[in-house]
Chains A and B, each alone.
Chain A
Amino acid sequence: MKPFTFATGIYASGDWESGQLVPAVVIDSLARHTTLLVSPGGVNVPLDSAELFEYPFLFLTGHLAVRFTAAERRNLLRFVDRGGFVFMDDHNHDINGVFHKTATEELARLFGPLRQVPNDHELYRAFFHFRDGPPATNHEMNGWGDNLVHEHLLGVIRGGRIDVLYSSKDYSSEWSMHPESKRFMEVDPSRFAVNIVVYALTR
């Protein structure tokens, strides 16, 4: 069977490639903690391509404006309706920033307004247990961006199930490291990524 492959979505309008180290860090975490069959490297896949549907887990990030083309919107809508999972993260960590404003606008246009994911949602127990909801990031703690610690993640939630997970916490920066650097850390900072992937693979 096909292994889990971390796919980063390519969209036309912004800097989709800004989280280039994230795939390796997430793959490393998955391999460290689970027996999941996982591809050792991530892939980049255009949102408007048929290849998108070969990767039911999609990561989107960036700093700049997100304005999907009609083909990207069509594909994304179909992708989620058929069971695909999207994890979108604001690399700016700035709710006043252009990424957050435009990305949430695009998601709302496709799926309706984003809702807060309750901090006791099963996402936070899918593998590791995060009792207080989404773990904070260094950028939040250091006052970067909008200088806020975002208590909740947002999402497109249908039937209690998260189909699109949106983060303003800048996990893209938090997880932009060399996987081998993690061995010097007491706690794996990308453990939450394991929850997200396990959630996507099972719910």
Chain B
Amino acid sequence: MTAIERVRRARAALLGALTASALLHAAAAFALVLGLAALLDAATQASLSIRKAVVPLALLGATVAAAVRLWRGRGALGLTGVALFIEEQTPGLQYALVTAVEPAGHRDASLLDRAVEQSWSSAALHSPIRRALIPPLLVGVVLLGALAVLPRAALSRILDPRAGDALLAPRGLGAPESRLTTLVVVVTPPPYARLPTETLEEPLSVRALVGSAIHLRGRGAALPAPESLRVETPGGAVLPAIVGDTWSVSLRMPEAPQVVRLTDRGRSRLLTLEPVVDASPTVVLRSPERDTTYGLPRGIISVDATASDDIGIERVWIELLLTTGGGERFSTTTRTLATVSPGGARAAAASITIRLDTMRLGPGDVLNLRAVARDGNTVSGPGEGSSETRTIRIHDPSLANAIPIVPASVAVLDTTVLSQRMLIIRAETLLVRRRRMPADSFRVQSLRLGERQLMLYDRVQALILELETATDVGFVGETEESKLLRVAGVAMRRAEDELRKIRVAEALPEMYRALDALDKGRTSRRLYLRGMLPRIVVDLEQVRLKGTDSASAGPRPARLPLADLRRALLTRLDRIVAGTGAAALADSLTMLRAVALTGAPDAAPLLARALEAIRGGTDPAAALRAARRALDRATESAVLSPWRGGP
């Protein structure tokens, strides 16, 4: 074997030993980091985020240890380095080996080979290889052995840290533990929400959808007096289930905030349940944009709607109400169109095109369109949201001359006709009684009739004005009815003039003419003015206290004072702060905060801040003051005044 071959063999052996040594160092470093982390966790119960960093840190340490080892042994990479190393171990070689492996070669290579062969000893590498391997091997074995001795739970907290493994933490030394020392809460939202389960360690409050399953878990079930563990909710006590050393309680997230009290052998712990309400979907009807009246039931209506929800939409559809009929008889059919099932997506859309001519619509028919969305809430029932409604009307030409809707003048004319008839009867009666009446009395009566006639005239003028100025439906100008009313108005004016001049006989013909015109107006073609109902005016003076039905007003009952929840919370807070010892302050504030979540939501975060300060050992005074200010009502300042009260 030539010298070079020997050196090559030696290099291979050294490299192998170096690699093995680096691996052993890495393993030892890895085990060391894990071991230290496990000890630290046992002493301090490190947080999840810290524990998650341990394995990467250990790998990093292992890599660094291996890299350092390899760096230090880099000399074994080259033949010259290996030769020099062997020369150190075997002085007898007298640099023959180094010379033999020189890259330039040597003309006396065979001489060198013989010289090397004479002094070569393969045992020269054994000691260095042993030194490289054995110490790290021993250290690694010791460390791994120590890891093996550690409790499995402690190791798994380091190797596979996850939320909820607080129950696996090693028990503390010193003070006796209670069953409430470690609390893990697993929150499982309702299935319809398709949300992941969440695990919380040592929470002070749990925020989740209404109906979520809340599992409280702790350990120490094997501790003495297991019956002392109590879990109390506003709805009553809940019995814990025990499996081995672990106890658990199952609750459901209520609709209103609640505080759950856990007690065990004199110690207690509060947990606030904060419900998140599943909101109903929001639906927007993008098209059609406004209500419309169609002259004929022809045309296309594009209906487009979008819906969104905080959790998920189960169904979206377009609802159509079709009402037919008139007078006092209507019938309605409901149709559901364009149904879309988005499979729990948080946004969806529905659209449809409606062809009016396929719907067999008639004059006067009314379509009400809207979009509706339903979420998948199976806890409190599906939440339903709907869009604005669009009303599509089909014009009824029998009712008006191309102008839609509603009888307007009928009522006023009816009453005016009646009043005119009454006036005529009075005038005729007055004329008959003239001879038997004093002149003054006749005069006064005639004047009164004139005033009444003028009032009727005013009423007719107002009606004419409304009939002729219905600009909001696009109509301006005379109608058949308004023309007739003008004739009646002129006649009324003349009659009033005659009555003022105490010429009742001359007034009567005009009054008849007015009545005739009014009657004709009643039977003329109606003009229906939507949105412009004429104001029917009651003659109050005429009817005041003319009723004969017996009556007696009942007593008025007292109205109850308003319950001011904020005030009640403020009073409670003042009492808590003034009278509660430090130990009970946190509990009292926790209960108060649960009520404030709904009653005074602006104060709830401030109370939470106070609670954090108390638990963190800092002064909660500033946070309590802020909470008090939020609940308190504003002050009002004014200039000095000699008056005690007033605004």
Contacts and interface: CB of A to CB of B under 8 A. Distances in A.
A–B contact with Cβ pairs below 8 Å: the answer is yes
Interface of A: 8, 10, 12-15, 17-18, 20-21, 23-24, 27-29, 31-35, 38, 40-44, 63-65, 67, 69-70, 91-92, 97-98, 102, 122, 125-129, 144-145, 159-161, 173, 178-180, 187-188, 191, 194, 198, 202-203
Interface in B512-559: 530-531, 533, 535-540, 543-547, 549, 551-554, 556-557, 559
B530 A17 contact: yes
Given A32-B545, A33-B549, A173-B328, A180 B406 contact: no
Q: In this complex, which of A28, A65, A92, A122 has the most chain B Cβ atoms within 10 angstroms of its Cβ?
A: A65
A8 to B, nearest CB: 8
A201 B539 CA distance: 22
A159 B559 CA distance: 8
A43 B547 CA distance: 24
A78 B557 CA distance: 24
30 contacts: A13-B368, A17-B531, A20-B411, A28-B543, A31-B544, A31-B545, A32-B547, A33-B545, A33-B551, A34-B545, A35-B545, A40-B540, A42-B536, A43-B535, A63-B328, A64-B323, A65-B366, A67-B368, A69-B388, A92-B330, A97-B332, A127-B551, A127-B554, A144-B328, A145-B328, A160-B557, A179-B538, A188-B547, A203-B556, A203-B557
Given A64-B366, A97-B332, A126-B554, A41 B538 contact: yes
B323 A65 contact: yes
Contacts of B533: 8, 17, 20, 44
Given A32-B546, A41-B537, A42-B536, A17 B328 contact: no
Contacts of B405: 15, 17
Closest 10 CB pairs of A and B: A32-B547, A67-B389, A98-B332, A125-B554, A41-B535, A24-B536, A33-B547, A41-B537, A65-B368, A27-B538
A60 to B, nearest CB: 14
B419 interface: yes
B543 A178 contact: no
A67 B370 contact: yes
A98 B553 contact: no
A29 B546 CA distance: 9
B389 A65 contact: yes
B418 A63 contact: no
Contacts of A67: 368, 370, 388-389, 391
B523 to A, nearest CB: 16
B407 interface: yes
B549 A202 contact: no
A70 B540 contact: no
A98 B540 contact: no
A173 B368 CA distance: 24
B415 interface: yes
Given A12-B391, A13-B368, A159-B559, A64 B330 contact: yes
Interface in B296-340: 321, 323, 328, 330, 332
B419 A180 contact: yes
Contacts of A187: 549
A88 B524 CA distance: 33
A89 B547 CA distance: 25
A14 B332 CA distance: 13
A191 B536 contact: no
Nearest to A158: B560
Contacts of A32: 543-547
B414 interface: yes
Contacts of A43: 535
A128 B323 CA distance: 38
B160 interface: no
Interface of B: 291, 321, 323, 328, 330, 332, 366, 368, 370, 388-389, 391, 405-408, 411, 414-415, 418-419, 530-531, 533, 535-540, 543-547, 549, 551-554, 556-557, 559-560
Contacts of A122: 554, 557
Given A20-B533, A32-B543, A180 B415 contact: yes
Contacts of B538: 24, 27-28, 31, 40-41, 179
B553 A198 contact: yes
Given A20-B533, A29-B547, A160-B557, A12 B406 contact: no
A47 B408 CA distance: 21
B411 A24 contact: yes
Contacts of B328: 63, 91-92, 144-145, 173
Nearest to B557: A122
B546 A10 contact: no
B553 A127 contact: yes
B186 to A, nearest CB: 35
Contact of A65 (B332, B408, B559): B332
B474 to A, nearest CB: 18
A202 B557 CA distance: 9
A35 B535 CA distance: 22
Contacts of B406: 15, 17-18, 20
B161 to A, nearest CB: 49
A179 B552 contact: no
Contacts of B557: 122, 160, 203
A105 to B, nearest CB: 10
A55 to B, nearest CB: 14
A35 B551 CA distance: 13
A42 B415 contact: no
A127 B328 CA distance: 31
Contacts of A64: 323, 330, 366, 368
